[in-house]
Amino acid sequence: MAREDNRRGKRRDRDETPEFADRLVAINRVSKTVKGGKRFGFAALVVIGDQKGRVGFGKGKAKEVPEAIRKATEAAKRKIVRVPLREGRTLHHDMNGRHGAGKVVMRTAPQGTGIIAGGPMRAVFEMLGVQDVVAKSIGSQNPYNMIRATMDGLSKESSPRNVAQRRGKKVSDILPKVDAPAAAAPAEAENAEA
What are the chain's domains? 2-172 (3.30.230.10)
Specify the amino acid at residue 66.
Answer: P
Residue 45 CA to residue 58 CA, distance in Å, equals: 6
Q: Kindly report the backbone phi and psi dihedral angles of residue 56, in degrees, each rounded to the nearest multiple of 5, phi listed first.
A: -155, 160
Q: Of residues 43 and 15, which shows the higher confidence score? A: 43
Q: What is the pTM of this model?
A: 0.77
In this predicted structure, the answer to whether residue 65 has a pLDDT above a threshold of 60 is yes
Residue 163 CA to residue 155 CA, distance in Å, equals: 14
In this predicted structure, the answer to whether residue 179 has a pLDDT above a threshold of 70 is no
Residue 64 CA to residue 57 CA, distance in Å, equals: 20
Q: Determine the average pLDDT of the residues in 11-27.
A: 71
Residue 123 CA to residue 130 CA, distance in Å, equals: 10
Q: Average model confidence (pLDDT) for the chain?
A: 84
Residue 73 CA to residue 90 CA, distance in Å, equals: 25
Confidence of residue 17 (pLDDT cuts 50, 70, 90): very low
| Predicted local distance difference test score (pLDDT) of residue 5 | 52
Residue 100 CA to residue 91 CA, distance in Å, equals: 24
Q: Contact 144/59 with Cβ under 8 angstroms?
A: yes
